[in-house]
Chain A
Amino acid sequence: MTEELGLPGQDSDGGSEEVVLTPAELIERLEQAWMNEKFAPDLLESKPEIVECVMEQLDHMEENLRRAKKGDLKISIHRMEIERIRYVLSSYLRCRLMKIEKFFPHVLEKEKTRHEEEPSRLSPEEFAFAKEYMASIETYLKNVALKHMPPNLQKVDLLRSVPKPDLDSYVFLRVKERQENILVEPETDEQRKISLVTGEWRPYWSVRNPWLCWQSK
């Protein structure tokens, strides 16, 4: 399998162009996205290109297996690889879905109030799912209880009732390339600057902006 896959990406000028990846690089990106998603308390940016390419890759592999000679030893090995990749992809998507369900009012609010240039945290399908989820819960609560309550109590503000993701939780960062003078907590007056050295593991406080997680991609 020496084919290369096109993936929309950014070049150094900031313009978008297709980045060509080998299958191995694609899987590495998938695993990276999976790890980041698992350890971040918040929902991270969606990666529909990676999901799409991995699905295509799995299809190719299945196709190759179907055409392979029966009893060939390599079949088991390739099958195992398909299983593993499918597990990582499923786990990644499950992790995202669970965060979407857990923080649904906040996720939808963020999507509603984001700027044009900001990338979306939700893929279009995840967005549709989140909206349906919220609508079904609102309808259920209204029909079973709220509409039978006194008139001034029938509205429940889900944004206030459903807990937000805990952005103060600790995460470990692994720094892939050296970065100087990263601004910590730019919103507060006290502006702390730290330098990140390659390969260093650091406990992290107040991850206000998930961008800092990405800095260490």
Chain B
Amino acid sequence: MFCDRAIELVRELHRAPEGQLLAFNEDGLRQVLEEMKALYEQNQSDVNEAKSGGRSDLIPTIKFRHCSLLRNRRCTVAYLYDRLLRIRALRWEYGSVLPNVLRFHMSAEEVEWFNHYKKSLATYMRSLGGDEGLDITQDMKPPKSLYIEVRCLKDYGEFEVDDGTSVLLKKNSQHFLPRWKCEPLIRQGVLEHVLW
């Protein structure tokens, strides 16, 4: 049946749990585009026949193919747009540098889009005033306390705290550090907030 491949693309998204980015289905997309090309060419010849040969019985078939074409386009654009939304969420989750495993799931054009988005966002944040603007990807939760207990998950090295002293972040070491300094490291997976 027509549009099978397109629906398969949409189902793929539906199957992936909230926010998860699967590998870009290049084959699937290519097949949908090929089907669209074939449908269009068939329609073109039928339209000519219908006009010149007076074959008005072809018209329902032409309409049906046209609907399939519209369906294919809608599913394709939905697939691509939804993936962009998931990629956009990655910027807010992981920061500007994505883990490699996620980058491999993105097509070259998606990586390019991600870079554009990153840049737009950075320009906007910088414009918010002050010296460097305001990084609104920080402070995602209301602050409960100034200092938090954190455990180091991997070796990070020297980490400088506000008043000039520095702390050595070695795997499994625990520290009592200012919350606002730790937030980016917690999101990157270097530190873990220890909750009693």
Give residues in A with beta carbon < 8 Å to B: 51-52, 55-56, 58-59, 70, 76, 79-80, 83-84, 86-87, 89-91, 93-94, 97, 101, 125-126, 128-129, 132-133, 136-137, 140-141, 143-146, 148-150, 153, 156, 161
Contact = CB atoms under 8 A, between A and B. Distances in A.
Interface of B: 29, 33, 36-37, 40, 69-70, 73, 76-77, 80-81, 84, 88, 107, 109-110, 112-113, 116-117, 120-121, 123-124, 127-130, 134-136, 138-143, 146, 163, 179-180
Interface of chain B, main secondary structure: helix
Given A140-B109, A145-B29, A149-B73, A87 B139 contact: yes
A161 to B, nearest CB: 7
27 contacts: A52-B129, A55-B129, A55-B130, A86-B139, A87-B141, A90-B135, A90-B138, A90-B139, A91-B139, A93-B128, A93-B134, A93-B136, A126-B124, A129-B124, A136-B116, A136-B117, A137-B84, A140-B80, A140-B84, A140-B113, A144-B29, A144-B109, A149-B33, A150-B40, A150-B69, A153-B69, A153-B73
Contact of A128 (B73, B124, B139): B124
B116 A141 contact: no
A144 B112 CA distance: 12
Contacts of B113: 136-137, 140
A144 B113 CA distance: 11
A159 B134 CA distance: 31
A55 B51 CA distance: 68
Contacts of A126: 124
A146 B32 CA distance: 12
Given A83-B146, A132-B120, A137 B81 contact: yes
Nearest to A152: B40
B36 A150 contact: yes
Contacts of A93: 128, 134, 136
Contacts of B77: 141, 145-146, 156, 161
